[in-house]
């Protein structure tokens, strides 16, 4: 398993680099063929490469991604290493170790009949091209097991917030900032007003719902083209996390209700809800099963937590498929320089996934 993990980490797979993702897909496909004994179907959508293994009509979906947030060349600064039982390198935790565990779990099944493995190449971008593949399969399955990395201490992820993404563009009018600034309409000033209004949206929702769980965060901002020009255009990206569908709809309503504060400016909003919330009810039964099986396997007590980050598990749960997330690596540091995996935990996590999959498959063969 460690050799397989090294192979995947050494093939960088930055989400925005389609060539890198394609190279990664070839490596992942060959490793999956070698470990599970069957080559995948390669699916390219809008330049993004996804992989699918189908072992008969799907009953259990095993879901992962091979893209990462790390640009090609990151290995120079954060090389692959294993020291004191800890593996490090770009994407090792999120989520290449999860793929290795997935492949080895399937390889141990008495029969993989009914298993459907989907490894997508754009999860870190919000799965724009893979979402239809995920949802179409999820609607036909009795369970989805997501190989995203675990939460702190190896906790499974039993609920996730919904995710919305927006970009607000402010249109103004350029002018020379020294000679005739009064002829311009400053998009930067208007952008500042809008950033403050956007940042206040979460407080407005949570004060009315008392949930205290919504976040509306302005992230990337830009305005202007030179230091002596009144900005004609300004932009801000907005990241939204919500506890439930009602809050997601409320945020969307308020975002679309933004109005200009500066005369002569115009607002343009793009984006919207990206991932529906993963409700705790979607994972409750599978989590109870995981606790029981982990105890039988001697893997110690399991705990489940709700997290703010989204995953493709949001899509499977939203499609009505019971979903358990966070079954991947134990470690930490996702999207950070300290990303790492506790190597000794990998075999046990693979055994747990195999046990969960076998249980659901056997239940299907024996009837309701």
pLDDT tens profile 54-108? 999 999 999 999 999 999 999 999 999 999 999 999 999 999 999 999 999 999 9
DSSP state of 85: T
- What is the average per-residue pLDDT within 213-242? 96
Q: What is the distance between the alpha carbons of residues 171 and 249, in angstroms, rounded to a whole number? A: 26
Q: Is 180 a catalytic residue?
A: no
Q: Which of 231, 251, 275 is the last residue of a domain?
A: 275
Average pLDDT value over all residues in the chain:
95
What pLDDT was estimated at residue 205? 84
Domain range spanning residue 351? 2-160+277-365
* 69 and 111 inside one domain: yes
Mean pLDDT of 211-234: 92
CATH number for the domain that contains residue 293: 3.40.630.10
> In the prediction, which pLDDT does 25 show?
98
Please say which residue of 275, 300, 335 terminates a domain: 275
Structure tokens at 189: 């000033």
Same domain as 128, residue 23: yes
Nearest CA to 129 out of 139, 118, 145, 116 is that of 118
**In the prediction, which pLDDT does 213 show?**
86
More confident residue, 139 or 368: 139
Residue 24 has pLDDT above 80, yes or no: yes
- Could you say which of 4, 94, 123, 148 is catalytic? 123
- The reply to whether 171 and 130 lie within a common domain is no
Domain shared by 201 and 252, yes or no? yes
41 lies in the same domain as 145: yes
Residue 222 pLDDT > 80? yes
Is the pLDDT reported for residue 18 higher than 60? Answer: yes
Residue 136 pLDDT > 90: yes
Q: Is residue 261 scored above 90 in pLDDT?
A: yes
**What is the pairing mode between strands 60-65 and 115-120?**
parallel
Q: Do 60 and 167 reside in the same domain of the chain?
A: no
Q: What is the pLDDT of residues 299-349, one digit of tens each?
A: 989 999 999 889 999 999 999 999 999 999 999 999 999 999 999 999 999
Question: Whole-model pTM?
Answer: 0.89
d(CA 343, CA 226): 51
Within this chain, do residues 118 and 264 fall inside the same structural domain, yes or no? no
Among the three residues 216, 242, 275, which one is the final residue of a domain in this structure?
Answer: 275
Same domain? 167 vs 259: yes
Do residues 152 and 287 share a domain?
Answer: yes
Position 207 confidence tier, pLDDT thresholds 50, 70, 90: low
CATH number for position 191? 3.30.70.360
> Looking at the structure, do residues 223 and 137 belong to the same domain, yes or no?
no
Share of the chain above pLDDT 90, in %: 94
197 CB contacts (<8 Å, ≥6 apart)?
Answer: 258, 261
Query: Is there a catalytic annotation at residue 83?
Result: no
Calpha distance 214→248 (Å, rounded): 9
Q: Please tell me whether residues 223 and 344 are part of one structural domain.
A: no
- Looking at the structure, tell me whether residues 267 and 156 fall in a common domain: no
Banded model confidence at residue 208, pLDDT cuts 50, 70, 90 = low
| Rounded percentage of the chain residues whose pLDDT exceeds 70 | 97
In whole angstroms, give the CA distance from residue 239 to residue 237. 7
Q: How many domains does the chain have?
A: 2
* Long-range contacts, 341-346 (Cβ 8 Å, 24+): 341/5, 341/86, 341/87, 341/88, 341/92, 341/93, 341/97, 342/85, 342/86, 343/2, 343/82, 343/85, 343/86, 343/87, 344/85, 345/154, 346/1, 346/2, 346/5, 346/97, 346/100, 346/101
Residue 212 has pLDDT above 60, yes or no: no
Alpha-carbon separation of residue 109 from 113, 175, 355 (angstroms): 9, 68, 8
């Amino acid at each position: 398993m460690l050799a397989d993990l090294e192979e995947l980490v050494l093939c960088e797979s930055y989400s925005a680099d389609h060539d890198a993702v394609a190279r990664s897909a070839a490596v992942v496909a060959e490793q999956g063929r070698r470990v599970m004994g069957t080559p995948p179907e390669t699916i390219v959508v809008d330049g993004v490469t996804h992989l699918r293994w189908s072992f008969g009509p799907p009953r259990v979906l095993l879901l992962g991604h091979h893209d990462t947030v790390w640009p090609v060349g990151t290995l120079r600064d954060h090389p692959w290493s294993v020291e004191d039982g800890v593996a490090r390198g770009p994407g090792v935790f999120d989520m290449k170790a999860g793929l290795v565990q997935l492949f080895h779990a399937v390889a141990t099944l008495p029969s993989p009949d009914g298993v459907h493995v989907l490894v997508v190449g754009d999860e870190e971008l919000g799965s724009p091209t893979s979402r239809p593949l995920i949802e179409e399969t999820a609607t036909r399955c009795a369970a989805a097991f997501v190989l995203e990395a675990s939460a702190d201490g190896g906790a499974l992820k039993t609920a996730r917030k919904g995710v919305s993404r927006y970009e607000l563009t402010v249109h103004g009018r350029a002018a020379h900032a020294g000679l005739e600034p009064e002829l311009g309409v400053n998009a930067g000033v208007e952008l500042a007003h809008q950033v403050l209004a956007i940042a206040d949206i979460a407080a407005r929702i949570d004060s009315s719902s008392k949930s205290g769980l919504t976040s509306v965060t302005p992230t990337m901002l830009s305005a202007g083209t030179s230091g002596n020009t009144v900005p004609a255009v300004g932009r801000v990206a907005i990241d939204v996390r919500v506890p439930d569908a009602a809050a997601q709809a409320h945020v969307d309503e308020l975002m679309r209700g933004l109005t200009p504060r500066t005369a002569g400016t115009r607002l343009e909003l793009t984006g919207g809800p990206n991932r529906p919330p993963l409700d705790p009810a979607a994972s409750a039964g599978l989590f109870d099963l995981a606790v029981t099986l982990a105890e039988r396997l001697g893997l110690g007590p399991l705990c489940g937590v709700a997290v703010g980050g989204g995953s493709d598990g949001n899509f499977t749960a939203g499609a009505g498929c019971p979903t358990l997330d966070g079954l991947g690596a134990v470690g930490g540091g996702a999207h950070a320089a300290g990303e790492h995996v506790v190597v000794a935990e990998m075999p046990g996590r693979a055994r747990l996934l195999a046990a969960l999959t076998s249980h659901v498959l056997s239940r299907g063969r024996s009837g309701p």
